[in-house]
């Protein structure tokens, strides 16, 4: 069975992370945040976003 993972636009990622679009775009370009291209649009997988959040947050619950 094929599992289809959710894809986020850079605008959506910026909203989730409370960052500017430009910052997210830079993170994708420098490889900090893995992404993929779908029909010319840059997308971030749900797993990549989750992994980024886990690896880049400290403290809290």
Domain-wise residue ranges, the chain: 7-52
Residues contacting 50, CB < 8 A, separation 6+: none
Global pTM value? 0.85
Write out pLDDT tens, residues 2-61.
778 899 999 999 999 999 999 999 999 999 999 999 999 999 999 999 999 999 888 655
The DSSP 8-state label assigned to residue 29 in this structure reads: H
| Residue 52, CA distances (Å) to 1, 2, 27, 39, 40 in order | 27, 24, 11, 24, 23
For the 7-52 domain, the top CATH level (class) is: mainly alpha
Residue 9, by phi and psi: left (phi above 0), alpha (psi -120 to 50) or beta? beta
């Amino acid at each position: 069975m094929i599992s289809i993972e959710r894809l986020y636009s850079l605008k959506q990622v910026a909203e989730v992370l409370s960052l500017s679009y430009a910052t997210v775009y830079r993170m994708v370009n420098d490889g900090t945040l893995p992404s993929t291209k779908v029909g010319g649009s840059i997308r971030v997988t749900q797993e990549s976003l989750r992994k980024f959040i886990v690896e880049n947050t400290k403290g809290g619950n």
